[in-house]
Structure 1
């Protein structure tokens, strides 16, 4: 019976199935991708690091640290630092990460170069391996020269990849690998230089790395060094990409949820049409259970087939994610198919279809044989307890499924609550709109406009379902565009002489006046000329830092104890700083106690406040200070910010280097200034903030593309739900349109009535979604990013008219049968 009835209603059942296929496809594809990502991270951890473990230090290792390093006999080592390089043949300059390598590194995997032999030949030939993208940018080839500080080296080959770095991290400072023996000759390792010493080890198979690290780590931390194993890299990468997977899973889950809502709505109308047939079956002796199971089999079949088809589509779709995320993955992703996501897809298809269709299905249980004579829209209604029980089961399932996806009960609960609130808001707006039309009905409008408005609250209307489905999809993708604009506004650089867009670092005191002269000679403004002094904390509130390190549960975060602070001194606050506690001291006299200002995050991590004593070690000289004020610092602003600021009159004679900022009007002037400074002062590093902004914007665009891809599932699912809902109500609409034609309505009037109705639906659904996105993005801007909100016009000029036209097209396709045929012919055909 279920099969015979399904064949007669196959078009509508296929539309039900389509509602859930896309959601299943999204969930399965992302589950497969997450499984592949996790397996690849586990299997390629050594290849990503290139060694079993690494000991590194941000300063030249102390005598004790050196003894530990040498006792373990490193197999390779390097010193890396950020510096400007020049290409004499092309005249270009670029900020790069120079890696001076000694030894046969990497031990696992290999450096990918072009030509391939360059990976091994550069050590003996004395050449440099230059990032392939950088060579392409400056149009240089193997055999050309690269100037690094005071030396000129031939380029041995293009470096495509090397363990320990990724395309994401290399975008700001592309790697340049040179033999270690040339590092000293560059004369770039000077006071204030940002450098890192790394020692690479290949361990024996019998060494258990976790206990080995736990034993060695405290000793190295005491000497301001660190140890990392390939297992640490696995955990870090796992956590990083786990969050990406959780977000994508939730986005897919929303698409699946939309499909289930479409099924619930469509099945509700479908069952209403079957109530009279069910009453007839019961008159012929069918039991409640039999009539219920007939339609349960249909819905369960839809779920199983939809889950299977969605799973197969998901297998194909998951291969797209390595391409979408290739710029964020430090390794090549090998794709394999596992059975678990396929079972999940089929199970979700079956379970969610039945669960969300359960309420309309239960109505078949309460149909009386007598209803064959009196069936109407409100004749059958399941008890309130049954409805509450089903709603409770749905919420429990959503909570458990969300918890399974993100492995955090609080966030899962918050997600379910947010989802319910969003649906309630969308449905509430739709219901409010309907009530508003009823109360303020425009009786003076013409017949076609009035009739189209009446259709919005006619029996079996789909106004609420369509507004929820289309509104949620529009809400997701609109929020993306609005949020992207907020993020970009935080790094946006105004092209005015008041805003610095170039930072010149590591300027030595004897070079300062000449660098200033080089800037002003090109008619460029000197916006900042700051002195930086490097120091470490010696004691905090009377306790030595070395003693605090020994605490089993220290109240001071470990980074504070090991960090080398770069501080400055000045008498004014900047635009990114606000005093939140204490008093700002601009200048001190000779015998005054030294008061400093610290950032709020440092105060929290170091567990210090106003009035506490901190002693700093500046190149072996101890200086006693008192915290005088705490500042809230906006670290996201594109300018130099500091955790510690001294007043004037204290550090002027301390060993220091300078940072200068200026504003360049265009790329040509920027390139000219960089070439001049690098040729005269090879040790300085230059950051062009316009390039940083372009880099950030490019990353945001890539992330937006991924989110857009997932929002596409929600939009497309909403469209499928729309088609299914509109097509399901086609049969009632045909009878209404035929009746209108019988009463004398012309095709033009019927076309106008239908067109107005669906224009109203399309505008309402998309507009509500965009307005909710505006509200949520405004909250993000005010409470999270604390930035002014300047929304994008993209949702208004693309989604609003685009979705409205789509709804209109689908709606008009429904009445073509009425317009092309006579009323009697239509009634006979539909009967």
Structure 2
């Protein structure tokens, strides 16, 4: 009983001593805490928003789809599909959708739109939001059209104006604000237009080669199991070139789409947290150096090694817990802005609610990360001798290399495990940790090398202030390493995102060449191609390409029927190859976006009756075929036997028509087909003029202006990079907090130097200039190395990931480097302002505020 009481008393004494000592050093400990607050806030905000996003998708999955489940096909459903629909009690509503050029007679403008013809009371969940509100119901009765609200504003359209689709003109009943299944990024390229189902036939747009989707909407019985339905019907429908989508599967698919983006943001936030922890390690190191005398006194009074160690461990853990709490609350508040940041990416509104899991994660991270990164400097208390009370020791007691190695291993293990929890793949977690180590290692190496070079090649001939500023970079308690690490990593993140965005835009950008097509004319029937080409020449437009397209599906792979492969649960062939309707062309040459991987094209070697073909490498990989393997295709009911004689890589990012499968000439010319013609308009005005003229003569032909697509792509990348930069800026803010903490923590050392310099005759202006130059060096070196690292990283991304040319921009060097340097300088001087005003007695008494 007495032993238990003694143990409780001992623990109570440790907490009291930790509290008393911590209260006397409150400002410095608060800065330790602040080092991780922003990182935890970033992680918690992303985690909390992801939780809310998943919950909202689950709750609104029916509203997003408008029905419980949908059977869809890109062809009119065959007898078996109709039998399945009838067995389910018949569709409760149906629709047909296809892209088409819309012509607005009011101003003569044209635009590619996504036409949706609806019949029945769809949507069954959610509603069509229109202006005026009554238009959602009246458009069917009045045989009018609901036109995307943004499109209405763009072309100054009003209720009562008309829209021409193909061969028919329809009055505009109202503006479509939102609808289930519409919206998102695709709506930026082809805005939705809803019309009654009965008007679709009048447009004349349902032709051979037209890209049409037939949808059948269902309301499920109250006790119907969606997963079981999907499991039973989806394979059967796949075999019939149809598909089943339930609201559950659609919700999961939508969730996965945003989940990957959330994982990336989590990593960016986690890096900010790691930077904060580096700040903790540095600050605790300096803090403990000042506390060694106190530790020696405690040991003289009878305190054991464990007790003196535990006192400061409790302090750091307490600050970590408080930092985790503050960071979690800040993160919860920060997530309120996420719906605004990603507005336009989500097809629904998000209700933000409190989630305990991210808050618990924040508290856990605060304690674990603080203790882990502070453990190495805390261990210095273990080796303090009581005699240090009487001695003046310049060298600090240090722990063994073995202990430091174990601590480092523990830190890396924790980072790896946490990265795995975020990414859910061991390989990704490994590469993340490796990348962090490389970046941190290079920045640390540069900082250490810089300090050694300055020390070794010290410019003794320089003036007093310049020499003293350089001395500060490698003096005792210097912050060169930690600040270059924090500043460099934050700059590296932001600059890499900037360079990556430029790579993607350059990859998508149009070449300033008359031979680079920027207008694509789609859905041209064989009897129209000569007339379309002739009219383009009349409009002084070049015909760059006239590309035939034949649609077909895979019937056999290596003598195995596609249906047999679908039914084989052990098959590793990717199902999309079996279910996809391929759009195939024929030619005897490769184009600029293609490179040979294996075999040769064109090829004359083939068996009689077997056609040689060229496959893209992704199709060959997913179909598990190689050179010499046989494929059978179904072309509108006619079976064609082929042999793979060539495999090529395709740059799908190039804005031109690329194909998975290429046939040689003189094989498919008589097959049912449609054509695509490409041309080049010198400017936007000429493009609009050509589109108006062509739509007037060929109403069933769709036209894509790649300039508009590029504008949409650039807008999307701008939004994505803005969100990522917002998160990456936490790294810069964390670096600033580390800077403040570092200067505040080493304040006594700086005051001591200032007093000594003033005693020797230095003026206030000289001391200010010394600090000015020191922070200029730190800010410039950290930001410049960060940009250089991002340049190298972006070059590797361009070569190995995007496979695109990399033309570096000077903007990060001209904007980011000076901006970060100015921020570091401003914060450093602001924190250093008290140094000049501190009286000499403050140093003698060691009354550091």
TM-score by length of 2: 0.94
Q: Which has the higher mean CA deviation after the structures are superposed, 171-180 or 535-544?
A: 535-544
In 1, Cα distance between equivalents of 2:69 and 2:743 = 61
User: What residue number does 1:745 align with?
Assistant: 762
In 2, Cα distance between equivalents of 1:383 and 1:619 = 76
Partner of residue 66 from structure 2, selected from 47, 50, 66: 50
Does residue 797 of the first structure (1) align with residue 788 of the second (2)?
no
User: What residue number does 1:703 align with?
Assistant: 720
1:312–1:275 Cα change, 3 Å: same
In 1, Cα distance between equivalents of 2:52 and 2:278 = 31
CA deviation profile, 1:86-124 (whole Å, cap 9, x unmatched): 111121111111111111111111111111111111111
Does residue 160 of the first structure (1) align with residue 177 of the second (2)?
yes
Partner of residue 47 from structure 2, selected from 18, 22, 31: 31
In 2, Cα distance between equivalents of 1:547 and 1:670 = 49
In 2, Cα distance between equivalents of 1:590 and 1:512 = 33
Q: Contact 1:610/1:629 (CA < 8 Å) preserved in 2?
A: yes
Q: Find the residue that maps to 1:698 and give its secondary structure.
A: helix
Does residue 18 of the first structure (1) align with residue 34 of the second (2)?
yes
- The structural deviation recorded for 1:19 is 0.9
- The structural deviation recorded for 1:728 is 1.6
Q: Contact 1:474/1:766 (CA < 8 Å) preserved in 2?
A: yes
Q: Contact 2:743/2:832 (CA < 8 Å) preserved in 1?
A: no
In 1, Cα distance between equivalents of 2:768 and 2:389 = 35
Partner of residue 596 from structure 2, selected from 566, 579, 583: 579
Does residue 483 of the first structure (1) align with residue 500 of the second (2)?
yes
In 2, Cα distance between equivalents of 1:560 and 1:568 = 17
User: What residue number does 1:631 align with?
Assistant: 648
1:707–1:821 Cα change, 3 Å: closer
1:750–1:530 Cα change, 3 Å: same
User: What residue number does 2:244 align with?
Assistant: 227
User: What residue number does 1:813 align with?
Assistant: 830
Q: Find the residue that maps to 1:596 and give its secondary structure.
A: strand
- The structural deviation recorded for 1:594 is 3.2
In 2, Cα distance between equivalents of 1:598 and 1:377 = 72
User: What residue number does 1:81 align with?
Assistant: 98
Does residue 59 of the first structure (1) align with residue 75 of the second (2)?
yes
User: What residue number does 1:786 align with?
Assistant: 803
User: What residue number does 1:68 align with?
Assistant: 84
Q: Which has the higher mean CA deviation after the structures are superposed, 362-371 or 104-113?
A: 362-371
User: What residue number does 2:482 align with?
Assistant: 465
Q: Find the residue that maps to 2:172 and give its secondary structure.
A: strand
- Which structure 2 residue ranges, 5 or more long, are not aligned? 1-16
Q: Find the residue that maps to 1:370 and give its secondary structure.
A: helix
Where do 1:431-450 residues align within 5 Å? 431-450=448-467
CA deviation profile, 1:758-795 (whole Å, cap 9, x unmatched): 21111111111111111111111111111111223232
Q: Contact 1:371/1:379 (CA < 8 Å) preserved in 2?
A: no
1:498–1:362 Cα change, 3 Å: same
In 2, Cα distance between equivalents of 1:737 and 1:43 = 63
Where do 1:753-764 residues align within 5 Å? 753-764=770-781
Q: Contact 2:748/2:846 (CA < 8 Å) preserved in 1?
A: no
- The structural deviation recorded for 1:592 is 8.4
In 2, Cα distance between equivalents of 1:316 and 1:486 = 34
- The structural deviation recorded for 1:245 is 1.9
In 2, Cα distance between equivalents of 1:386 and 1:611 = 60
- The structural deviation recorded for 1:825 is 7.5
Q: Which has the higher mean CA deviation after the structures are superposed, 51-60 or 559-568?
A: 559-568
In 2, Cα distance between equivalents of 1:755 and 1:641 = 57
- Which structure 1 residue ranges, 5 or more long, are not aligned? none
- The structural deviation recorded for 1:25 is 1.2
Q: Contact 1:587/1:647 (CA < 8 Å) preserved in 2?
A: no
User: What residue number does 1:103 align with?
Assistant: 120
1:359–1:674 Cα change, 3 Å: same
Q: Contact 2:289/2:396 (CA < 8 Å) preserved in 1?
A: no
Q: Contact 1:303/1:349 (CA < 8 Å) preserved in 2?
A: yes
Q: Find the residue that maps to 2:677 and give its secondary structure.
A: strand
In 2, Cα distance between equivalents of 1:545 and 1:236 = 25
- The structural deviation recorded for 1:704 is 0.2
Partner of residue 302 from structure 1, selected from 300, 304, 319: 319
CA deviation profile, 1:224-244 (whole Å, cap 9, x unmatched): 111111111122122112212
In 1, Cα distance between equivalents of 2:826 and 2:195 = 63
User: What residue number does 1:342 align with?
Assistant: 359
Q: Which has the higher mean CA deviation after the structures are superposed, 610-619 or 714-723?
A: 610-619
Q: Which has the higher mean CA deviation after the structures are superposed, 778-787 or 748-757?
A: 748-757
1:10–1:508 Cα change, 3 Å: same
- The structural deviation recorded for 1:217 is 2.0
In 2, Cα distance between equivalents of 1:590 and 1:209 = 48
- The structural deviation recorded for 1:800 is 1.0
In 2, Cα distance between equivalents of 1:468 and 1:449 = 23
Does residue 92 of the first structure (1) align with residue 89 of the second (2)?
no
Q: Contact 2:739/2:828 (CA < 8 Å) preserved in 1?
A: no
CA deviation profile, 1:177-212 (whole Å, cap 9, x unmatched): 111111111000011100011101111012112222
1:342–1:768 Cα change, 3 Å: same
The alignment of Structure 1 onto Structure 2 pairs a total of residues equal to 831
Q: Which has the higher mean CA deviation after the structures are superposed, 125-134 or 407-416?
A: 407-416
In 1, Cα distance between equivalents of 2:565 and 2:267 = 43
Q: Find the residue that maps to 2:813 and give its secondary structure.
A: helix
Q: Find the residue that maps to 2:215 and give its secondary structure.
A: strand
Q: Contact 2:747/2:835 (CA < 8 Å) preserved in 1?
A: no
In 1, Cα distance between equivalents of 2:254 and 2:560 = 36
Partner of residue 349 from structure 2, selected from 314, 332, 335: 332
Does residue 692 of the first structure (1) align with residue 709 of the second (2)?
yes
CA deviation profile, 1:441-493 (whole Å, cap 9, x unmatched): 22332332222212211111111111111111111111100111111111011
Does residue 562 of the first structure (1) align with residue 613 of the second (2)?
no
- The structural deviation recorded for 1:339 is 2.2
1:302–1:591 Cα change, 3 Å: closer
Where do 1:184-583 residues align within 5 Å? 184-583=201-600
Q: Find the residue that maps to 2:675 and give its secondary structure.
A: strand
Q: Find the residue that maps to 1:704 and give its secondary structure.
A: helix
- The structural deviation recorded for 1:427 is 0.8
Structure 1 vs Structure 2 CA RMSD: 2.1
Q: Find the residue that maps to 1:422 and give its secondary structure.
A: helix
CA deviation profile, 1:18-54 (whole Å, cap 9, x unmatched): 1111112112212211111111111111111111111
User: What residue number does 2:13 align with?
Assistant: none
In 1, Cα distance between equivalents of 2:749 and 2:228 = 73
Q: Contact 1:595/1:646 (CA < 8 Å) preserved in 2?
A: yes
User: What residue number does 1:667 align with?
Assistant: 684
In 1, Cα distance between equivalents of 2:142 and 2:227 = 39
In 1, Cα distance between equivalents of 2:836 and 2:578 = 80
- The structural deviation recorded for 1:687 is 0.5
In 2, Cα distance between equivalents of 1:490 and 1:753 = 47
In 1, Cα distance between equivalents of 2:151 and 2:836 = 64
Q: Contact 2:99/2:190 (CA < 8 Å) preserved in 1?
A: yes
Q: Find the residue that maps to 1:274 and give its secondary structure.
A: helix
